[in-house]
Amino acid sequence: MKIITPQDFHSATSGKHILLDTSIFIDAFLHPSEFAEFFNKLKDRNCTLVTIKPVLIEFVKGTTTDKKLDEKKSFVESIIESYLPVTDDIFDNSLDLIEQYRIEGKDLSLTDFILGGVVLKYKRSIYLLTKDISDFPTNIFTMLTYFNLFHRKAIQNIGVYSA
Partner 1 sequence: MKIKDRLPIVSRKKKIDLKKFEALAKRVKKSFEEENKYREEKISRNENNNPTGFSFGY
Which residues of this chain interact with partner 1, rule CB under 8 A?
17, 26, 28-30, 32-33, 36-37, 39-40, 43, 46-50, 62-64, 68, 71-72, 74-75, 78-79, 81-82, 84-85, 87, 89, 106-107, 121-122, 125-126
Identity of the residue, 30 or 138, whose beta carbon is nearer to partner 1 in the bound complex: 30
Contact 142, 108 (CB under 8 A): no
Shortest distance (Å) from residue 138 CB to partner 1: 24
Shortest distance (Å) from residue 77 CB to partner 1: 10
CB atoms within 10 A of CB 109: 13
Shortest distance (Å) from residue 68 CB to partner 1: 4
Contact 41, 10 (CB under 8 A): yes
Shortest distance (Å) from residue 71 CB to partner 1: 5
Dist CA 28 CA 18 (whole Å): 15
CA atoms within 13 A on the CB side of 73: 13
Dist CA 11 CA 45 (whole Å): 8
Identity of the residue, 109 or 138, whose beta carbon is nearer to partner 1 in the bound complex: 109
Identity of the residue, 53 or 68, whose beta carbon is nearer to partner 1 in the bound complex: 68
- Count of all residues that appear for the chain in the document: 163
Task: Give the contacts of 90 (CB within 8 A, at least 6 positions apart).
Answer: 114, 117, 118, 121
Shortest distance (Å) from residue 58 CB to partner 1: 12
Identity of the residue, 82 or 138, whose beta carbon is nearer to partner 1 in the bound complex: 82
Identity of the residue, 81 or 104, whose beta carbon is nearer to partner 1 in the bound complex: 81
